[in-house]
Structure 1
């Protein structure tokens, strides 16, 4: 792997606090590159979910710079936010499927919101459900699906619009180890197609299963080893750490 020409995300001295409380993220600086696979780890309360919220533009930082897709994401006009968010797929730990919609309609939702015509939706959605192994469950509602099946529907929904970046928050937290590995293989397949993948997880065993992945480790709201450097090409193991450039 050679160093990509363009960054996809850049954080520079970012801090985040909620209200008047102390910062939950402090002096966060890193760069994500197209087509790379990143793990975000850290103890409970380290700030993983807060960092992910910044990545998928659900939260603005209290200070610092965030640049995404070559644009200042902090000063981005509100009318441009939907277009930016469509470039980012999100997989939530609690799935967040719409309970009264079928698997098909849950996956189709981002395309419908984007204004894609119904005649252009059927084939891509069916193909995506086949890709996650749920081609025979298109008409099932979330309550009738297992935890692993619901998570796969959530993944299909997150990637149906072919995002530039996929962000997943503890995507294997509610499934058994075998299903966790199947989900990781789906993420790997997507990554091989060129999507930048960021997976937050507390499961250190998963990290070693993805060849060439890079590691970001949070410790009490700070990136561990802040004097470290991101090396390209990354070492072909999962112990490579991503810290401040």
Structure 2
């Protein structure tokens, strides 16, 4: 894992979420994510992993509690301030969410165009990131012509093109074979070594062994289990 400074990057304090009058789907979540760390978010189907990720990347607001992002209160902050926080978080969705009529190049370039970068400033970084994920030769291809693993790598490239401080990935290996799953984990590890905090939601227990230094966040029926305390205190770095 990275040796970046050990300040908090995301902090949840007694966070809960309910939909209208239903029971809480997430309850009493208190944890801290630290810069440059790698986390696996695990739990049975229906445990609330995707919902928790939505809170982390600010697509959902909690019903109660405090969420602090990069030193700022994301709950009381005016909505006009949220886009700046969201730009610091890359998201790899379980269903990829690539734009079907755009080429691989244009899908990856989309966040930079939305952020107002000029075409001259976009071309180099997009080519570099496509080369990094091994798909520079498919830059003109549309999503429908790509395999599941290729689509996943394009989704990852799009998520990291803006150099986010945090990368959140929802079941990123669920649609690929074991060999491709291992390759994707190596991509995440490389990004983590460059300083990005990684949060990977998965139900695949075998995947947890692929990143020995990763910390485990376990959700059980909407509650977090953290027997080691690693989500409250900075994890120890290898000496």
- Say whether the 8 Å CA contact 2:41–2:49 is kept in structure 1: yes
**C-alpha distance in 2 between matches for 1:184 and 1:34:** 19
For 1:98, the equivalent position in structure 2 comes to 99
**C-alpha distance in 1 between matches for 2:200 and 2:36:** 14
**C-alpha distance in 2 between matches for 1:151 and 1:203:** 17
Q: Which has the higher contact order (CA 8 A, sep 6+)?
A: 2
For 2:163, the equivalent position in structure 1 comes to 162
State the number of aligned residues: 235
Structure 2 unaligned blocks of 5 or more: none
Q: Which digits, 9 at most, give the CA deviation of each residue in 1:130-158, with x for residues without a partner?
A: 00000100000000000000000000000
**C-alpha distance in 1 between matches for 2:123 and 2:83:** 23
**C-alpha distance in 1 between matches for 2:178 and 2:165:** 28
Structure 1 unaligned blocks of 5 or more: 237-245
**C-alpha distance in 1 between matches for 2:4 and 2:125:** 32
Shift of 1:232: 4.7
For 1:173, the equivalent position in structure 2 comes to 174
- Say whether the 8 Å CA contact 1:52–1:169 is kept in structure 2: yes
For 1:229, the equivalent position in structure 2 comes to 229
Q: Which digits, 9 at most, give the CA deviation of each residue in 1:153-206, with x for residues without a partner?
A: 000000000000000000000111110011110000000000000000011111
**C-alpha distance in 2 between matches for 1:195 and 1:100:** 30
- Say whether the 8 Å CA contact 2:66–2:73 is kept in structure 1: yes
Aligned-pair Cα RMSD in Å: 1.5
1:93 is paired with a residue whose SS is: coil
**C-alpha distance in 2 between matches for 1:37 and 1:62:** 27
Please say which of residues 37-46 and 206-215 is displaced more in the overlay: 206-215
**C-alpha distance in 1 between matches for 2:4 and 2:225:** 23
**C-alpha distance in 2 between matches for 1:97 and 1:18:** 28
**C-alpha distance in 1 between matches for 2:176 and 2:76:** 38
- Say whether the 8 Å CA contact 1:212–1:235 is kept in structure 2: no
**C-alpha distance in 1 between matches for 2:237 and 2:109:** 38
State the TM-score, normalized to the length of structure 2: 0.95
- Say whether the 8 Å CA contact 2:6–2:234 is kept in structure 1: no
